[in-house]
Amino acid sequence: MVNSYAPGENYSAQEGSFEGPEKLLEIWFSPSPEGIIAHQNLSTVEEPKGLRIIPRPCLDKMLSLVKCTVLNVITNSDVDAYLLSESSMFVYPHKVILKTCGTTTLLYAVPKLLELAKEYCGFEKVWRVFYSRKAFMFPERQVGPHRSWEDEVEFLDKYFDGGSSYKIGSGLHDQWHLYLTKPLDDVLHHQNILNPYFKGVMREHEIRSGESTPAASDSDEEDPSPFGNAGHSYPDQTVEIHMTGLSQEKMKQYFYHDASKTASGLEGGVWVDQQTGIDQLYPSAKIDSYLFEPCGYSSNGLWQDRYFTFHVTPEPECSYASFETNIPVERSHGHEHRPIEALISQVLAIFDPSSFTVTYFTSHHEEHHSQRHMVHSMAAIDGYRRTNRILYEFDGYDLVYGHYEK
């Protein structure tokens, strides 16, 4: 059964929920696109497109379970980016990233996605899973398995083995929730160096200021990331910025006002990109944006094999904006403001939030790893007071969580 509302309509707005903070799911069937054949024991020797061959009607049906629709799609040689009525989906050969806001039932996509991966791609097993979200603004309005974090974890445990769950940060409204699984043991002998073995053991460290770290050099690859590193040769990273209490002056651009001055839909999205400077964050990226009626904005961007995405709920009573990217950024070193701070500051300038939370999640090479490479991430941000900064160290990955207020 498909959704009863038209493409482009917002289910959560119809339901009156206006829940900005998104649910984010990543399901990996292999550590890399190149490893699919070996990891899934496929017989073909051709370079597979993997999950990208799943027919669009099947994906639409899966998304109907979540209560969202596809607005537009952009692609390149590495990934398909779906702009949704309630956020985004990115489909790689070896993994799917699904992000939805409002009262969507994202986890209901899990069994259908596993079914499609098996039917069309021959994928019999999952390599690893990540599920995360910021604390909801209106948790009482959530439905299905999203009524509580405990319900979400219980649902995920039905489909995946070896899962661990965490609530990160202090303050009920500022917490970030994370669920992850260990890598599947029988694919580790094909391990990709960019995605090292992740045992899922966590150690928490309060970050001390003032330590020095060796400088890092930028990649020499053509068309480098504007924030310090090129994409293909760098560890797996994800940066998320969750912003609340947005400037209402800046939010005016995210409302559809007058058809004689501003279009809605995809055309309106381009207008917002240009007016706000979103199109200058990664100037060489391919961007797909949408301005909703009467308000709201979503955007996907592709740069090489990486993505970024924005989502904005501008109403003053529940204003929220999110930014996410896996385009690599350089870590901070000593007291210098390095590209991670430059990225954060440039995003903040677009929305001028009263408070925000940042998560910086990155893999590392065991033989080169040092906590010192992470301790300076998210240092002082001009105009804001840091109320919390913690380093979470996993075997194979590090996470830095920071919360800031004006």
Q: What domains sit in the chain, N to C, each tagged with a CATH number?
A: 1-192 (3.60.90.10), 195-406 (3.60.90.10)
Q: Which residues are catalytic?
A: 87, 101, 298, 311
Rounded mean pLDDT, 317-337: 76
pLDDT value of residue 185: 64
Q: What is the pLDDT of residues 16-38, one digit of tens each?
A: 557 889 999 999 999 888 888 77
Q: What is the pLDDT of residues 129-159, one digit of tens each?
A: 999 999 999 999 999 999 999 999 999 999 9
pLDDT value of residue 341: 87
Residue 13 reports pLDDT greater than 60: no
Peptide bond into 328 cis (omega under 30): no
Of 319, 33, 50, 370, residue with least CA distance to 212: 370
Residue 259: partners with Cβ closer than 8 Å, 6 or more residues away: none
In percent, how much of the chain has pLDDT > 90?
59
Residue 142 host element (H or E) = none
Annotated binding site: 18, 86, 292, 315
Residue 353: partners with Cβ closer than 8 Å, 6 or more residues away: 243, 244, 245, 246, 247, 321
Rounded mean pLDDT, 292-296: 93
The encoded tokens of residue 110 equal 């899990």
Annotated binding site for substrate: 18, 86, 292, 315
Angstrom distance (rounded) from CA 117 to CA 51 = 6
Which of 153-167, 233-247, 303-317, 370-384 is the least confident region? 370-384
Can you tell me whether residue 113 is helix, strand or coil? helix
Of 248, 253, 322, residue with least CA distance to 291: 253
Q: What is the pLDDT of residues 246-285, one digit of tens each?
A: 999 999 999 987 666 778 999 999 999 999 999 999 999 9
pLDDT value of residue 209: 30
Of 17, 24, 16, residue with least CA distance to 84: 24
Residue 245 reports pLDDT greater than 60: yes
Rounded mean pLDDT, 208-217: 29
Neighbours of 72 (CB within 10 A): 18
In percent, how much of the chain has pLDDT > 70?
75
